[in-house]
Amino acid sequence: MRLGIIGLPQSGKTTIFNALTRGSQPTGMVSGKIEVHTAVVDVPDPRVDTLSAMFQPKKTIYAKVTYSDIAGLDGSAGSSGISGNLLNQLTQMDGFIHVVRCFEDDAVPHLAGSVDPRRDIHTMDSEFILNDLIATERKLERLNEERKKGAGRDKAVIEHEQELFTKFHAFLSEEKPLRDMDITAEEEKMISGFGLLSRKPVLLLLNLSESQESPEIAYDHKASKVVALQGKLEMDIAQLPLDEMQSFLDEYGIAEPSLNRMIRLSYDLLGLESFFTVGPDEVRAWTVRKGATAPEAAGEIHTDLQKGFIRAEVVAYDDLVEAGGMHEVKGKGKFRLEGKEYIVKDGDVITIRFNI
């Protein structure tokens, strides 16, 4: 669960990274320099706070997302595509936070000479589409050679791949990202190790100056979301001591930093949800893909729990909070025993019963 923070130079990528991590990485890196900073961030979830207050555990653990600040993209990959270490870093990501500059600042000139978020969005999208177009052309060449040799893999498998990558090439040639293309679960597995950049989910982050209103940006793509925030202000808030941060938020009537919403959106963007385990030792949010079964959720806790899975004891978060405790929720008949086919729901409080 890794999200790469990308964007053109001077868009505010590192400012957003610092806001996320409460860090102080230097901003304004030299254009074209490949540099990656990585940090693991808690996913803000008031449900975890509520459960922790209810059970008073020794430890409270939130769900996590890993963010990587990736410098080096500048819209100039050209006909050869994105190369070397930079491409390797990008393909390792599960999705991207694309930071788009909307703020004006004479002290930080835009490389293109003017601030134009729609132009910059198109530039980055085109960079990824072009890279994937080149990659699919090379893949088709290799498949053609493999088919001519007639040895190795099954001919039907090769033909299926040829058909799929031919469709990819046609789609990309229309300047459309591959995340807009519907493919089967089997085809998704087929390309899982191929690292197509325009196939990955994208959270478009409009980086505003303080008090700036967000421009209306239409970004009608699948596996995509748009959020606007004031990056510099969010970084300044994040770097305050915790007591001063809360005082600042209270003074301005801010319920929580906008950054928290961005983190939750990026978590949701990856198709993830949280379930909880509770007890006197630990209250913890666990991450699982949407649509996962109870045994798969058990495997997130420990592989032995998945291997020896018998059943899951499940309580919905809302039912637990409304009842006031585990004993009370059982008394109201809201406690369920679920088997191997149960699909975990966001907010489930689960106890796994197993036998090894």
Look-up of token digits 């190790």: 193
CA distances 209 to 72, 104, 124, 249, 282, Å, are 23, 7, 21, 18, 40
Sign of CA dihedral 15, 20, 26, 30: negative
The one-character DSSP state at 26 is: P
More confident: 73 or 61: 61
Give mean pLDDT, residues 101-123. Answer: 91
| Nearest one of 21, 32, 104, 103 to 64, comparing CA atoms | 21
User: Please, what's the b/e burial string for 156-165 (b: 16 or more CB within 10 A of its CB; e: otherwise)?
Assistant: eebeebbebb
Question: What average pLDDT does the chain have?
Answer: 90
* Residue range 332-354, pLDDT digits in tens: 999 999 999 999 999 999 999 99
Provide the pLDDT for residue 192.
Answer: 83
| Nearest one of 329, 275, 276 to 57, comparing CA atoms | 276
Alpha-helical (H) ranges within the chain are 13-21, 46-55, 84-91, 117-149, 155-173, 185-190, 231-238, 242-251, 258-269, 294-301, 303-307, 317-323, 326-331
* Residue range 299-334, pLDDT digits in tens: 999 999 999 999 999 999 999 999 999 999 999 999
* Residue range 25-58, pLDDT digits in tens: 765 544 456 778 899 989 989 999 999 999 999 9
pLDDT-derived band at 180 (thresholds 50, 70, 90) equals very high
> Which domains are present in the chain?
291-354 (3.10.20.30)
Q: φ and ψ at 182, to 5 degrees?
A: -85, 125
Give mean pLDDT, residues 177-203. Answer: 91
* Residue range 5-18, pLDDT digits in tens: 999 989 999 999 98
Provide the pLDDT for residue 173.
Answer: 96
Give mean pLDDT, residues 255-275. Answer: 87
Provide the pLDDT for residue 102.
Answer: 95
Q: Do the beta carbons of residue 11 and residue 120 sit within 8 Å?
A: yes
pLDDT beyond 90 at 260? no
Provide the pLDDT for residue 151.
Answer: 67
pLDDT-derived band at 80 (thresholds 50, 70, 90) equals low
289: CB partners within 8 A, 6+ apart: 271, 272, 273, 296
328 HSE (CA, 13 A, CB side): 9
Provide the pLDDT for residue 178.
Answer: 95
| Nearest one of 333, 324, 221, 224 to 270, comparing CA atoms | 224
Provide the pLDDT for residue 26.
Answer: 66
Q: What's at 150, amino acid-wise?
A: G
Q: Do the beta carbons of residue 100 and residue 118 sit within 8 Å?
A: no
118: CB partners within 8 A, 6+ apart: 217
Q: Do the beta carbons of residue 53 and residue 47 sit within 8 Å?
A: no
Provide the pLDDT for residue 146.
Answer: 86
Q: Do the beta carbons of residue 104 and residue 209 sit within 8 Å?
A: yes
Kindly write down the DSSP assignment for every residue of 192-231, as one continuous string: TTT--GGGS-EEEEEEPPTTPPPP------TTEEEEEE-H
Provide the pLDDT for residue 266.
Answer: 87
Provide the pLDDT for residue 250.
Answer: 84
Look-up of token digits 């967000």: 214
pLDDT beyond 90 at 243? no
Tokens of 205: 């982050």
Portion of the chain with pLDDT greater than 90, in percent? 60
* Residue range 136-148, pLDDT digits in tens: 999 999 989 888 8
Query: How far apart, in whole angstroms, are the C-alpha atoms of residue 347 and residue 83?
Result: 42
Q: Do the beta carbons of residue 62 and residue 45 sit within 8 Å?
A: yes
Query: How far apart, in whole angstroms, are the C-alpha atoms of residue 161 and residue 96?
Result: 26
Provide the pLDDT for residue 347.
Answer: 96
